[in-house]
Structure formats: C-alpha cells, structure tokens
Amino acid sequence: MLGFHRRTRSLIPVKDLAKYDRVPLNEQDEEVDMEDSDTLVDEESEASDKARSRQLTLIYVVFLAEAIMASSLQPQLQMLISDSDYCGNLSTSYLRSILDCAYAFGGTTGLFWGYMADRMGRRKVTLIGLWMMVVCCLSMGFATDLASCTLFRYFAGLASSTVIVTTLTMIGDLSKSFEERVQNVALLPLIALFGSIGPIIQGMVSESLHSSGAVWEKFPTLGSQLACGGLVLSITLTATFMLQETLSLETSSSHMHLDCEKAAFLSENDSDAPKIAVIDFVRPEPITINQFMQAPSFLVLLASFSLLSLHASVFDVVLPHLGHQSSQDGGMGIPCPWLGLTVLIVKGVAGVTIKHIIPSAVEKFGLLKLYRSTSLLFPAIYIITPLLALAAASACSTNFVAITSAIGLLTKHVLTGGATVLVALLVLNTTPDAYSAGTVVGIMQIANLFRALAVAVSGASFYLSDELSVSTTNLALWTCLMLFGSCGAALAYFVRERPSVERDFPSEVLCWETCYDADEEKNEFDT
C-alpha cells in the first residue's frame, strides 16, 4: 500500500523534554482536550465551507457580467439592420458573423490573461477585466456604423476574456473534489442564459429614451449600453469589495514555520554540527506556455475544442437564416417572430438539463467516454434535423414542423453546452497543480480563432447566394456543419483524460514528492 506521509520526530534532547511538554494529570483531561480540539476543527471547517460557498456564488455573479457583455450584440444588430431584414436574407448572418468574429478575436487575448492569472493572482486579473468591461459597455453606446461597432466588439471580447479565464480557474481552485468540480462547472451554461436579461433591460431603456432628445437619436444604442454598463458596474463594485484571492501567492520563505522543537534544535551552537535549513513549503513554478504546447495530449484536446467552437459558432451565426427558411428548402421552418423566443426557451431548458444530467453522467460513464460520445452525436444532429423537418412538412402541418425543429435545436444546445462543460473539466485535469491552471485555461482561448472563421462560412454563403438557389445554399451550410462535426468527432477519439509524464511533460517540469511503502517501513521499524 502506497501512501504519502510526513515524518515527525522530536528534535529536543530527552533530558529537556520537561521544559516543553506538560503531561496531562489524568485520562479525563486528555479526553476533554480531544473533544475541545475536535469541536474547534469542526467549527473552523464549517466556517471555511461557508466562506468558500460565498466565493463560488460571487464567481458565478462575475461570470454573469461576461454573459451580459456577450449578449449586448443584439442592440447593435437592430441598429445596423431593419426589423424586416432580421430573418430575411443572409446579409443579417454576415453582419452578425463580422461582429462575432471581432469579439472572438478579442477573446484570444485570454492566452495573456491566463498567464498573468498564475503570476499576479486571479483577483487582480478579474478586477482589471471587469473595469475594462464597464468602459467598453459605455463606449459601445457611441458606435453608429459597422466599423465602430466592430472595433468596440473587439475590445469587448478582450475585456471579457479575462473573466472567462479567471472564473473557470477559480472554480477549479475552490472545488474540493472532482465530483464537486463537475457540479460547479455544469452550472455555467445556465448562468450564461441569465445574461439575456441584459438585452431585455437594454430594450426597455432604449424604447423609453428613443424619443427623449437629439442625443438618443444621434446615438441609438447609447441608452441600451448605459443599461449594460450599469449592470456590469454593480457587479464590478461588488467583486471589488468582496472577491478574495483563490491562489496562494506566498513564497517558501514567507510560508516557513518553525515550531518550538525545530527552534530548540537549530539553536544548538555546535560548530561541528551541519547546518540544516527547514523548508515546510515550496511553491512550484508555473508550467510555461511552450511546455504546454509541446504536450501531444493537450494539443489534441485543443484541436478538438477548436473544431467544436467552429461548428457551434457557424450554427449560431446562420441560425437566423436557416431557422425561418422553409423545410422544403432545407430550413427549419420556424417562423421569424417565434425564432428569438424559441432560442431563449431552448437555451433555458438546455441549461437546466446540463446542470442535472452532466454530473450523474460523468459519474456513470466517465469523463472521456462521455465527451467522445457527445462529439459523435454532432454530425448526426446536423444530418437528422433538416431531414426530420422535411419529413414533417410532407406529412403534417407547419406548426408540427416548427416543434420538430425546436426539438432538434434543443438537442443541439444540450450537446454544445454539455461538450463545453466536459472540455472545461478536461482542461482543468491537464494541469498538475493550481499554479499552472490559469495558463492552460488561457491557452484554450486560442479556439476563439476558429470561432472567428464563422465569418468565412457565412461570407461565402452570402456572396454565393445570388448565383445559387436557396435550397442549394442551405444544403451547403448543413454539409459544412456536418463535416466540421465529423472532424471534431474523429479528433475526440484521440483525446486523453489526463496528461502523462515524459510523453507530455518531462519529469524535470513537475515538482515531485517522496512516495514510499508505509507498511514495509513499519515492519522494518518493528524488527
């Protein structure tokens, strides 16, 4: 039986023990002392659990700020296009993909923020990002054309990437076990849904201020962005005063503790005795970006997540076009006025489903097997959804077609959210300690480059739509989604649950502890 232990032996001469130790008068005193000690430990543990629970709640609130920032795209789209064109043609999808592309490019700076989170601390990086988000929300209100909207969306992605990286890293820091980590991460898709309150409040403010003066007419999105900035500002102020650091930044010298026995032993003034340095804690150096990028298992996981981000982003971008198109033309047959509400309801149901199903599914099937199975279902969904809508249109009414497509949309969102949660858990498994967690989570933000490629797919379909029929264009879009999903499923087969020594990380990169056979040592001591 292998075990990790810390040996303790007295460093004080036997004749001097009376100076330091007091023997209890009777066994009853010993029992009372043990009961008091156990009570104190239980109280400290309960207080620690309450503090950790409060910090987790605050981290979820911080993540909500990023969700509000991401959903603030809607008022800008409504300014750039008319209501009649929102679902009318591919130009809407193209404009949306441009703004999403700028936001995704800004998100790639998470690579830098993850690196800084392991060296500056999670709290400082989070607060920097939150205050930047407040400035971005207020600045986006002065954007009046596509160029300025794109520029501000880039800076919004840059600011929000800090929160994406640090929230996931802090959840990993505060989770006491793998099972608890699964439950904590599985809640994130549901919290992201509540970011939709941002556009709702923005729309209410925008309607009330629409005819209030020339300023609101000159800057149509200013009122809605002020509402966005107010929400993010309230979260930022709360985090500034209440958020605590989850990463220990103390060095070995500041964390060194010498008890009375060590002090008595080291105070011996014997010139012939060797000098002994007592070190209780040594903080390992964070694993560098280059060392992570040389790990084959991590690169496979990064590639798999990049393809997942690509086809998920492409689907979200072209959904306003595919969603309302007739199922006879390869669309989903959902009426345009119902599309926004349908997507909102579907995301809510998907978030609740992920929260309850993922923890039990991971416990039953395992993390890696579940991720591979989920990846295999994506190409099937992209094939079955249009075929099912077409079959329903041939046999039933238009409403039944919309219901069938909504079920397919729900399945797709459950798979996408579940796969994202599983990737986050696999990423947190990649790092051997908390001091490199921010770096590895930041590297995963490289996948935003592939999300930005959605603009290429929507752009190609936009330019070819004049030469090709609607049904041919839709068929090409579904085919692209199926191909991207198939490539991601193939890569998922090679994903590993944890990295290995020498294959992924050289032994000198890791910080090792002594491991020995406790039973064998006990037998040797007895003999």
pLDDT tens digits along 173-184: 998 888 999 999
Q: Which two tokens stand for residue 127?
A: 């607060």
Highest mean pLDDT among 20-34, 95-109, 458-472: 95-109
For the chain, the first-to-last Cα distance in angstroms comes to 19
pLDDT tens digits along 343-399: 888 989 999 999 999 999 999 999 999 999 999 999 999 998 888 877 776 766 667
Res. 516 pLDDT band, cuts 50 70 90: very low
Q: Looking at per-residue confidence, does 6 or 24 come out higher?
A: 24
Are the beta carbons of 100 and 73 closer than 8 angstroms?
yes
Q: How confident is the model over 221-239, as a mean pLDDT?
A: 86
Does the pLDDT of residue 74 top 50, yes or no? yes
Res. 525 pLDDT band, cuts 50 70 90: very low
Give dist(CA 423, CA 221) in Å, integer. 36
* pLDDT confidence of residue 263: 47
- Give the CA distances from residue 498 to residues 299, 416, 437, 444, 503, in Å, rounded to whole numbers and listed in that order: 12, 22, 14, 16, 11
Are the beta carbons of 168 and 429 closer than 8 angstroms?
no
Please, which residues bridge with residue 2 across strands?
517
The DSSP 8-state label assigned to residue 474 in this structure reads H
Are the beta carbons of 243 and 60 closer than 8 angstroms?
no
Average pLDDT score, the chain: 77
* pLDDT confidence of residue 14: 46
Structural domains of the chain in order of their starting residue, each with its CATH number: 52-244+289-509 (1.20.1250.20)
Q: Which residues contact 411 (CB under 8 A, 6 or more apart)?
A: 381
Does the pLDDT of residue 275 top 70, yes or no? no
Give dist(CA 330, CA 173) in Å, integer. 46
Are the beta carbons of 202 and 77 closer than 8 angstroms?
no
Does the pLDDT of residue 95 top 60, yes or no? yes
Q: For Cα atoms 400, 406, 408, give the angle at the middle one, nearest 5 degrees.
A: 110
Q: Which residues contact 384 (CB under 8 A, 6 or more apart)?
A: 408
Percent of the chain residues topping a pLDDT of 90: 31
* pLDDT confidence of residue 521: 46
Are the beta carbons of 123 and 139 closer than 8 angstroms?
no
Res. 7 pLDDT band, cuts 50 70 90: very low
Does the pLDDT of residue 10 top 60, yes or no? no
* pLDDT confidence of residue 363: 92
Does the pLDDT of residue 481 top 60, yes or no? yes
pLDDT tens digits along 401-446: 778 888 888 999 999 999 999 999 999 988 877 888 899 999 999 9
Looking at residue 196, its amino acid is: S
| DSSP character string of 415-457 | HHHHHHHHHHHHHHHHSSSGGGHHHHHHHGGGGHHHHHTHHHH
Q: What Rg value do the Cα atoms of the chain yield, rounded?
A: 28
Give dist(CA 425, CA 180) in Å, integer. 11
β-strands 516-517, 2-3 pairing: antiparallel
